[in-house]
Amino acid sequence: MTLGEYQNKAIKTATPVRSLSQQLADGAMGLCGKSGDASELIRKTITEGHIITREEVAKNLGGVLWYVAIIAKTCGLSLDEVAHQSLLDRDQEKTKRIQELDRMKDNKRWTDAIYLFDKWDM
């Protein structure tokens, strides 16, 4: 299944909302809730030794993806566009980081370069 196919199926299962602002609010709040569920799953693993199954991960991330699909569609975006832009943005950010590290190297500012590199990877 492609992202576009997924988005079209997700839209068919969305609750009809009366206005654009309500659709966005529902999507944003749902996304926060599902993201919180995914975070809680990871927290339980770290703090309580809970064993995560593939099914739990898929279910939690699926909920996040569903709300992303709904928000994107409400904003007139396809998931394909969102995914593509995300990769472009990450590539541009990576290029900027490499250029900054090169400038620091040229200026013999390795301490700053190491600090920023660690900060970016967090």
- Are 86 and 54 part of one and the same domain? no
- Are 104 and 67 part of one and the same domain? no
**Residue 80 confidence (pLDDT):** 93
Rounded Cα gap, residues 58 and 97, in angstroms: 32
pLDDT digit string (tens) for 26-80?
Answer: 999 999 999 999 999 999 989 998 888 889 999 999 999 999 999 999 999 999 9
- Are 29 and 52 part of one and the same domain? yes
The DSSP-derived string for 11-51 is HHHSPP-SSHHHHHHHHHHHHHHHHHHHHHHHHHHHHH-PP
- Are 28 and 49 part of one and the same domain? yes
pLDDT digit string (tens) for 68-120?
Answer: 999 999 999 999 999 999 888 887 777 777 777 777 666 655 555 555 555 55
- Are 61 and 113 part of one and the same domain? no
Query: Which are the contacts of 89, defined by CB distance < 8 A and separation ≥ 6?
Result: none
- Are 86 and 66 part of one and the same domain? no
pLDDT digit string (tens) for 2-25?
Answer: 999 999 999 999 888 778 899 999
The range of the structural domain enclosing residue 106 comes to 80-122
- Are 63 and 95 part of one and the same domain? no
* CA-wise closest residue to 14 among 22, 23, 5: 23
Number of domains observed in the structure of the chain: 2
- Are 14 and 53 part of one and the same domain? yes
- Are 33 and 58 part of one and the same domain? yes
- Are 9 and 63 part of one and the same domain? yes
Specify the CATH number for the domain of residue 51: 1.10.287.1080
CA angle 23, 78, 17 (to 5 degrees): 15
- Are 20 and 42 part of one and the same domain? yes
